[in-house]
Structure 1
Amino acid sequence: MEEVNDDDIDKIFLQMRKELQKIKPETGAQDYGPKERSGFHALGFGINIPDGFEKAGREKTAAIFFSKNRPDIVLLNPAEHAGITFQAAKSGNFSLDLEAERKQIRRILSQADAKNVFYDQGNISGDIPVVWFDYKSFAVDERVYNMMFLFPAGGKLMIGTFYCIFKDYDRWRPKILNMLRTIRTEEAVHERI
């Protein structure tokens, strides 16, 4: 497998697509209601993830993300060809100005691939502030819908992403926005007790 540099966005999406195509769709109805995930306490937050997403192992994560800078957590929904990632930015390497961080990341993504098409952005108020934006990126013969979101947790900036094949974005977008409303930090949970 070829190593990918940080600026090789297309290669990353092509590799993700290749891996997702290997997964056979499940038959029968599935419940995609929220599911509490407690495995993120090490990163300082909790969140309700839609059903069907399971944590990917090291080998699967390495097959999708060839870069050495892999996300801390990768969740895959094989039946729906979708994924969610979480990664803590290096502590001390961000400001608490989430708007400025979002602007910076959008600029980097735009420079990495001028074909990326940016759509909407928003803020979610809850236990903690969350900012998000969505965009379309391109693989060889497939368009990919992406939603990136940022929030502070455990003294770090958390960067999350959701991705799926573009034709499914209208079904997933509301579910992911609802998921973002459930983000809470360990500090917020302890304050309620």
Structure 2
Amino acid sequence: MDYLDEQLLENKRKQKKEQYRSLETGFYICNELVKFGRVTIAPLSLSIVLPTAFVTMPQSMVKVKYQSENRPQVIKTSLDTRVNFTFSLLSQAVKPEQIASLAKQFRTVVQRVSPANVFYDLKEERTVEEVPLCWFDYKGYAVDEQIYYIMYVTPWGKGKLLHGTFNCRFRDKDEWKEAARQAILSLKLEEGDNNS
């Protein structure tokens, strides 16, 4: 009888995953419906569709979690801080046709810094505004856990480059990958001080 109950539960989980597969419907992630909504990150002149429960990580926590001086400028995080989207705007003019080679350079740097990382896809896609965006994903290692990362780059405004990451526990990779990819591709330029 337990086997049948387990099969029924598994079938229900599969149905929910098929039913909730977009930013509009939400995603069924780790047995929970995660809803998404567009948020504006004014200091970086961008908006993005993220999980509605995510918050901006306080600077005090950012300094602990990202000890390098090159820490991200803005981090949106789950309440338990296990799932993060990071954003940094760099003063670097990049032509759309250069974005793939730039992503390869970023991947090479990440590989040199941590040779144990395992790399997967490298793809060029377009944001909702038809701006080229290149991303790659990989498995990295924290002190006590394996981490799944998606790193991306895209031209941003006039003479800027948007660089960001998504990360979660590696064991949750298959739960989060498509939701994170769709979120990253939802990036939109919002008019602001950073574009002049």
- TM-score computed with the length of structure 2 as normaliser: 0.73
- Of the structure 1 ranges 168-177 and 95-104, higher mean CA displacement relative to structure 2 is found in 95-104
> Can you list the C-alpha shifts for 1:28-83, whole angstroms capped at 9, x where unaligned?
x8642211111x23312211112321101110111111112221101111347111
8 Å contact from structure 1 (residues 123, 132) kept in 2:
yes
Instruction: Write 1 or 2 for the structure with the bigger share of strand.
Output: 2
Q: What is the aligned partner in structure 2 of residue 182 from structure 1?
A: 186
> Can you list the C-alpha shifts for 1:4-40, whole angstroms capped at 9, x where unaligned?
xxxxxxxxxxxxxxxxxxxxxxxxx8642211111x2
Residues 1-193 of structure 1: pairs in structure 2 closer than 5 A: 31-38=33-40, 40-79=41-80, 81-92=82-93, 94=94, 96=96, 97-125=98-126, 126-127=128-129, 128-155=131-158, 156-186=160-190
Structure 1 stretches lacking a partner, 5+ long: 1-28, 188-193
- The amino acid across from 2:104 in the alignment is K
- The amino acid across from 1:32 in the alignment is V
- The amino acid across from 1:176 in the alignment is A
8 Å contact from structure 2 (residues 100, 124) kept in 1:
no
The CA deviation at 1:110 is 0.7
- Whose Rg is larger? 2
8 Å contact from structure 1 (residues 71, 86) kept in 2:
yes
Q: Sequence identity of aligned pairs in percent?
A: 28
- TM-score computed with the length of structure 1 as normaliser: 0.74
Count of aligned residue pairs for this structure pair = 157
> Can you list the C-alpha shifts for 1:115-155, whole angstroms capped at 9, x where unaligned?
11100121222312211110001123311100001112222
Structure 2 stretches lacking a partner, 5+ long: 1-30, 192-196
- Matches of 2:35 and 2:81 in 1, distance apart? 14
- The amino acid across from 2:38 in the alignment is E
- Matches of 2:72 and 2:144 in 1, distance apart? 25
- Matches of 2:144 and 2:62 in 1, distance apart? 22
Which secondary structure state, in structure 2, belongs to the residue aligned with residue 111 of structure 1?
Answer: helix
8 Å contact from structure 2 (residues 87, 162) kept in 1:
yes
